Homo-oligomer: A and B are copies of this chain.
């Protein structure tokens, strides 16, 4: 079974062959103003333009399209109130199968609307991880749906790696690739792509100071949970997945921690200079450059913008 080994670059390639017809090949943009401000030559892979507004649609599509016929009928299930929920809902709808999303009843209305808009069955639970897991377990028993974890999953990791794969295909060469890290799905997939493409590309994870479990885990070599995370980057609150941690430990070059106020500066630069909407988690790569100007000056840097789901006004 695939799931007994770690995913490798060939799995990203297979994922790409599986999903490329239904994902956007998002553009690579740059800004003269931001380059002259930072002294670096930065290219941005704009997954904020991906379907559902985030890279999560890649992994979710791969997970859904990898299901076997008897699994497809019963649908998919996850517990999430964020981009993964919307992504799974859309991927399921495009395949014509049911999606069940377990969501805390106190989730923001905009997130409920997004998931409902993609036609998923929403099951509200009381706030708290134990309720989410309990409701999910019960629903799996009831429906037989396949549980799709948002990041700690072989197919998800391989799917998320397709963003960096496209980026490397479309961009001029770069020395360093910066990737946001929360659960580690995008980061571990990007590592598979970047290191296979050119092992000399340095890969840096960007993490909020207020949710620095990846930093602790990576530099101690021991998995640390995310405890009382506090950051504006609400996509990066979760602990590293176990599969993700194994890939990250063996392949990552560095973790940089970034204060929330620099994340906001980066969002403002995207807004004012590039006229694009980027959510806090998606702006953290540029924020890492802004927070470490000497480190990046003169370098050719690739930055993955992970998503753009920011409420209007």
Interchain CB contact under 8 A, A271 and B312: yes
* Residues of the B chain whose Cβ atoms lie less than 8 Å from the Cβ of A49: 274-275
Q: State the copy count for this chain.
A: 2
Q: Is residue A268 within 8 Å, beta carbon to beta carbon, of the partner chain?
A: yes
Rounded to whole Å, the gap between the CB of A142 and the closest CB of chain B is 32
Bound form: Cα–Cα A308–B312 in Å: 15
Rounded to whole Å, the gap between the CB of A148 and the closest CB of chain B is 24
Q: Is residue A193 within 8 Å, beta carbon to beta carbon, of the partner chain?
A: no
Q: Is residue A160 within 8 Å, beta carbon to beta carbon, of the partner chain?
A: no
Interchain CB contact under 8 A, B272 and A312: yes
Q: Is residue A276 within 8 Å, beta carbon to beta carbon, of the partner chain?
A: yes
Interchain CB contact under 8 A, A275 and B308: yes
Bound form: Cα–Cα A277–B278 in Å: 10
* Residues of the B chain whose Cβ atoms lie less than 8 Å from the Cβ of A308: 275
Give A25-74 interface residues, CB cut-off 8 Å to B. Answer: 27, 48-49, 53
Which residue from chain B places its CB closest to the CB of A117 in the assembled complex?
B33
Which residue from chain B places its CB closest to the CB of A279 in the assembled complex?
B275
Bound form: Cα–Cα A268–B49 in Å: 15
The residue that A277 contacts in the complex, of B27, B53, B275, with Cβ under 8 A, is B275
Bound form: Cα–Cα A310–B274 in Å: 12
Give A256-313 interface residues, CB cut-off 8 Å to B. Answer: 267-268, 271-272, 274-278, 308, 310, 312-313
Q: What residues of chain A have their CB less than 8 Å away from a CB belonging to chain B?
A: 27, 48-49, 53, 267-268, 271-272, 274-278, 308, 310, 312-313
